[in-house]
Amino acid sequence: MPTLKEVAKYAKVSITTVSRVMNEADKVNPETRERVQRVMRELDYQPNRVAQRLRTSKGQSKLLGLIIPDIQNQFYSSIVRGVEDVAYGKDYAVILCNSDENPTKERFYLDVLQSESVDGVILPPIHQYSKVVEGLIESGVPVVCVDRKLVREAVDTVVVNNEKGGYLAVKHILDFGHKRIAILTSSSQFSSFDERLTGYKNALKDHNIALDDELIKEGDPRSTESAYLFTKELLRLSNPPTAIFATNNLMTLGVLEAVHEEQLNVPDDISIVGFDDMPWARAISPPLTVIKQPGYEMGRRATELLFQRFEDPKREPVQIIMEPTLIIRKSTGRVK
């Protein structure tokens, strides 16, 4: 690959001048500029980003770091796509990392990203208190949290109103007259699932329905497996639920599989509400009623927040709370 030096040689100027032509900073004589640009074109010169990065310590790497739990979860694919699209618009590339909710991996990738001197990092933090993430922020790397919050409030954050999402889902079912509504949620420390559960509880309370611990199942949101098993369990109850609320898309799949295996009719025998509006939700039969989170949009907004921070590092951190929407299709109905 040609270097600045070669361009300079052919254009018969110093490398400083070539550099100036690129960065438009100071003025360069139009003729010289023209000549240099021609040579650059002829040699198909591409600046070496590594060298650029080494020299300009902050904010010029044109690289973003993105750490997500698992790209195979379509909700995160949407976020990734949103991030990538706005990054591309600004000539940025993205380093993608899958943490598997494993703090060791998160740590590893955070170190890599820092040592790659990325301009900024976007991530749903694994823990609400995260030493590593805090450390990153302290050391001056712009960070945006997406999907999940940090306890510390001084970080740009994009989340959806999960509580409302949970509430909307459950209220919708309640309106059909259901009394026994099960929820499949995560056992872990993630703010998002906690809040969805809170929404569930609030909706029940508002309808004067007592909580039944039997109907609250906390499983692993990373696979369909545990939801499948819990659903089977729920259906075997002496007084089984007439509706199930699954709090993410993988869990929804588990519920669906179990319900079909039991030959239950949806929604006549059981109503189902999912979380996340995946492409398959409208294609299946019956089409699935879901709470939609705007994943793609969240990725976009998070990245925009990051770019805004590059421009104005002193800006007050903001929290963007996006609205979930209830998309009513055919998987919910009157209790029989």
Using the rule CB under 8 A, is 60 a contact of its own copies? Answer: no
CB of 115 to DNA, least distance (A): 8
10 Å CB burial of residue 220 (0-12, 13-18, 19+) is middle
Q: What are phi and psi of 319, to 5 degrees?
A: -115, 120
Q: How far apart are CA 150 and CA 66, in angstroms?
A: 16
Q: How far is CA 154 from CA 67, 82, 192, in A?
A: 19, 23, 19
Using the rule CB under 8 A, is 257 a contact of its own copies? Answer: yes
Q: How far apart are CA 232 and CA 210, in angstroms?
A: 23
What residue 112 binds from its own copies, DNA, none (CB within 5 to 8 A, per partner kind)?
Answer: its own copies
Nearer to DNA, 54 or 237 (CB): 54
Using the rule CB under 7 A, is 22 a contact of DNA? Answer: yes
Using the rule CB under 8 A, is 48 a contact of its own copies? Answer: yes
CB of 282 to its own copies, least distance (A): 6
Residue 239, C-beta contacts closer than 8 angstroms, at least 6 positions apart: 180
Nearer to DNA, 19 or 249 (CB): 19
Q: How far apart are CA 13 and CA 8, in angstroms?
A: 5
Q: Which residues pair with 146 in a beta bridge?
A: 158
Nearer to its own copies, 34 or 111 (CB): 111
Nearer to its own copies, 137 or 168 (CB): 137
Using the rule CB under 7 A, is 189 a contact of DNA? Answer: no
Do residues 298 and 321 make contact, with C-beta atoms less than 8 angstroms apart? no
Using the rule CB under 8 A, is 280 a contact of its own copies? Answer: yes
CB of 62 to DNA, least distance (A): 11
- Please report, as ranges, the residues that interact with DNA according to CB under 7 A: 3-5, 12-17, 19-20, 22-23, 25-29, 31-32, 45, 47-48, 51-52, 54-57
